[in-house]
């Protein structure tokens, strides 16, 4: 049974709350992780570690950004690095795992 999208968002809300000490209500799909939610670069390590623990898969360095656009660099993608984009990445990873097990 695949994890519903709403559950992914809920889990991401809890992760951001702990990692960035912000209210879960601020963790909406359009929120940009750097500019809107106030992350700094070391927070991304923290968030990545927590996503790995919460969803049970490993994430390579830069993998989330590459999932947004593999041809663009970090600075260009900073504004597109949102909660929604991260949730879509998690969805994609979970689906790949699901297919792998099928």
Partner 1 sequence: MNMRRVVISGTGAVTPYGNGIPAYWKGILSGHGAATPITSFDVTSLPTHFAAQVPFSDRELEEFIENKKATKTMSRAARFAAIAANEAVRQGNLDTHALDPWRFGTCVGTGGLGFFDVEYSDKLLEIFLRSVRVEDGKATFDAGQVRRNTLDMVHPLTPLKALQNILTAHIAIQFNARGVCQTVTTACTSAAQAVGEAYRIVRTGAADVVITGGSDSMVNPNGVVAFSAIGVISKNNDEYRTASRPFDNRRDGFMIGEGAAMFVIETLEHCLARGAVPLAEIIGYGSTCDAYRLTDPPPDGRGCIEAMRLALRDAEIDATEVDYINAHGTGTRMNDKTETMAIHTVFGNNAVPPVSSTKSMIGHLVAAAGAVELAACVLALQHQIMPPTINYREPDPDCDLDYVPNEARKAHLETVLTNSFGFGGQNATIVIRKPPL
Q: How far is CA 72 from CA 5, 84, 98, in A?
A: 26, 18, 28
Asked if residue 82 lies in contact with residue 31, where contact means CB atoms within 8 angstroms, the answer is yes
* Residue placing its CB nearer to partner 1 in the complex, 39 or 83: 39
Q: How far is the CB of 45 from partner 1 (least distance, A)?
A: 4
Q: Which two tokens stand for residue 31?
A: 């929120």
Point out which residues bind partner 1 (CB under 8 A): 19-21, 38, 42-43, 45-46, 48-49, 58
Q: How far is the CB of 59 from partner 1 (least distance, A)?
A: 12
User: Rounded to the nearest 5°, which phi and psi values hold at 5?
Assistant: -55, -40
* Residue placing its CB nearer to partner 1 in the complex, 34 or 88: 34
Give the separation between CA 16 and CA 56, rounded to whole angstroms: 17
Q: How far is the CB of 4 from partner 1 (least distance, A)?
A: 28
* Residue placing its CB nearer to partner 1 in the complex, 5 or 64: 64
């Amino acid at each position: 049974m695949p994890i519903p999208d709403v559950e992914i968002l809920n889990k991401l809300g809890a992760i951001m709350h702990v990692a960035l000490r912000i209210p879960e209500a601020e963790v909406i799909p359009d929120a940009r992780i750097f500019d809107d939610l106030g992350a700094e670069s070391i927070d991304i390590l923290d968030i990545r570690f927590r996503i790995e623990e919460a969803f049970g898969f490993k994430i390579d360095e830069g993998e989330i950004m590459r999932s947004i656009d593999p041809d663009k660099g970090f600075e260009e993608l900073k504004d597109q690095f949102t909660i929604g984009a991260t949730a879509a990445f998690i969805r994609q990873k979970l689906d790949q795992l699901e297919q792998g097990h099928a």
